[in-house]
């Protein structure tokens, strides 16, 4: 186990293979909720979700969110269709809104 943290009453942790797990502390309650997960890609918690950067061969680097449950992770938006990455970063909460930077391939 590389890193662990509490999120909505469950423990989330990742392994050296890039899997994100959730556990309630029991063997039966420990499940992989995300693959290709990099702990240091976590950007912020907002409105019950954990937002993070995920790299896929289909979409490149995009913003994803999880609720910490199996099947509860999804991409927020593919800003540039295809493999072009938006590289979301510098996420901040301002006046109850989530703001972040995203890149454009030409700039």
Task: Please check whether residue 63 is in contact with residue 53, taking contact to mean a CB–CB distance below 8 angstroms.
Answer: yes
Strand order across the beta sheet in which 20-23 lies:
3-7, 10-14, 20-23, 31-34
CA distances for 29 relative to 22, 24, 69, 95, angstroms: 8, 5, 11, 37
Whether this model's pTM surpasses 0.75: yes
The per-residue pLDDT for 53 is: 84
pLDDT given for residue 1 in this prediction: 43
Q: What is the pLDDT of residue 28?
A: 94
Q: What per-residue confidence (pLDDT) applies to 38?
A: 66
Could you say which residues of the chain have pLDDT below 70?
Answer: 1-2, 38-40, 105, 107
pLDDT tens for 65-75 read 999 888 999 99
């Amino acid at each position: 186990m590389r890193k662990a943290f509490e999120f909505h009453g469950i423990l989330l942790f990742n392994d050296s293979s890039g899997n994100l797990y959730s556990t309630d502390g029991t063997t039966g309650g420990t499940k992989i909720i995300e693959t290709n997960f990099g702990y240091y890609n976590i950007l912020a918690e907002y409105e019950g979700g954990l937002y993070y950067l995920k790299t896929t061969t289909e979409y490149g680097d995009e913003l994803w969110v999880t609720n910490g449950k199996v099947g509860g992770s999804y991409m927020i938006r593919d800003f540039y269709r295809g493999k072009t990455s938006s590289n979301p970063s510098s996420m901040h909460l301002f006046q109850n809104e989530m703001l972040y930077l995203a890149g454009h391939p030409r700039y």
